[in-house]
Amino acid sequence: MSSKKKLVALLLITLILTIPIIVLIYSTIGTNLSNFNYLWDYLLVDYSINTIKLVFMTIFFSLIFGVLPAWFVSTTDFKLKKTYDLLLYMPLAIPTYIMAFTYSDIVSYTGPIQSFFRNYAPKFAEIINVDYLQIEFLSILLSLSLYPYVYTTCRIAFSRIGTSYINLSKTLGLSEFSTFFKIAIPISRAAIFSGLFLIVMEVLNEYGAVNYFGVNTYTSGIFRAWGPMVDIQTASLLAVFLFIVVALFFILERYVNSKYKFNYAINTSVRSYFPNSKIKYVIINLVCLVPIILGFIIPVIHMLKNILKKSLNHDFLDVLSLTGNTIFVSIIASIFIIIFSILIQFINRISKSRFNKILGDVVSLSYAMPGAVIGIALILLFTIVGKFFETLFIGSFLVLIYAYVVRYMAVGISPIKSSFEKQPESIDQTAQSLGLKTVNLLNKIYIPINRSAIIIAFLLCFVDIMKDLPLTLILRPFNFDTLATQTYEYAIEEMLARSSLYSFAIVFLGTFMLIILKNILNKEIDVS
Please, what is the end-to-end C-alpha distance for the chain in angstroms? Answer: 42
What average pLDDT does the chain have?
82
Residue 374 has pLDDT above 50, yes or no: yes
- pLDDT tens for 136-151 read 999 999 999 999 999 9
- Those residues whose C-beta lies under 8 Å from the C-beta of residue 454, and which sit 6 or more positions away, are 338, 342, 416, 419, 447
For the chain, percent of residues with pLDDT exceeding 90: 28
- The larger pLDDT score, comparing residue 440 to residue 506, is at 506
Amino acid letter for position 155: R
Contact 198, 59 (CB under 8 A): no
Contact 403, 449 (CB under 8 A): no
Distances (CA, A) of 74 to 83, 126, 458, 494: 13, 43, 27, 42
- Those residues whose C-beta lies under 8 Å from the C-beta of residue 249, and which sit 6 or more positions away, are 197, 200, 201, 204, 368
Quickly state the pLDDT bin for 268 (edges 50, 70, 90): very low
- Rounded Cα gap, residues 170 and 395, in angstroms: 62
- pLDDT tens for 318-354 read 999 999 999 999 999 999 999 988 888 887 777 766 6
- Rounded Cα gap, residues 420 and 414, in angstroms: 10
Lowest mean pLDDT among 402-406, 436-440, 509-513: 436-440
Torsion of CA 501, 502, 507, 513, to 10 degrees: 120
- The larger pLDDT score, comparing residue 166 to residue 284, is at 284
Quickly state the pLDDT bin for 222 (edges 50, 70, 90): confident
Residue 498 has pLDDT above 80, yes or no: yes
| Mean pLDDT calculated for residue range 43-54 | 90
- pLDDT tens for 60-88 read 999 999 999 998 888 888 888 889 999 99
Q: Pick the closest to residue 466 from 404, 380, 528, 390 (CA basis).
A: 404
444-458 exposure pattern, b = at least 16 Cβ within 10 A, e = fewer? ebbeeebeebbebbb
Q: Pick the closest to residue 422 from 337, 524, 341 (CA basis).
A: 524
- pLDDT tens for 457-482 read 899 899 999 999 988 988 888 889 99
pLDDT score, position 509:
94
- pLDDT tens for 377-398 read 888 888 877 777 656 677 788 8
Contact 313, 473 (CB under 8 A): no
- Rounded Cα gap, residues 357 and 352, in angstroms: 11
- Rounded Cα gap, residues 51 and 84, in angstroms: 32
Neighbouring C-alpha atoms within 13 Å toward the C-beta of 166: 21
Which domains are seen in the chain, by residue range?
1-30+311-528 (1.10.3720.10), 32-309 (1.10.3720.10)
Q: Pick the closest to residue 408 from 449, 356, 368 (CA basis).
A: 368
Q: Which of 4-8, 172-176, 393-397 has the highest mean pLDDT?
A: 393-397
pLDDT score, position 344:
81
Lowest mean pLDDT among 174-183, 295-304, 356-365, 460-469: 356-365
pLDDT score, position 6:
64
61-71 exposure pattern, b = at least 16 Cβ within 10 A, e = fewer? bbbbbbbbbbb
- Rounded Cα gap, residues 445 and 439, in angstroms: 10
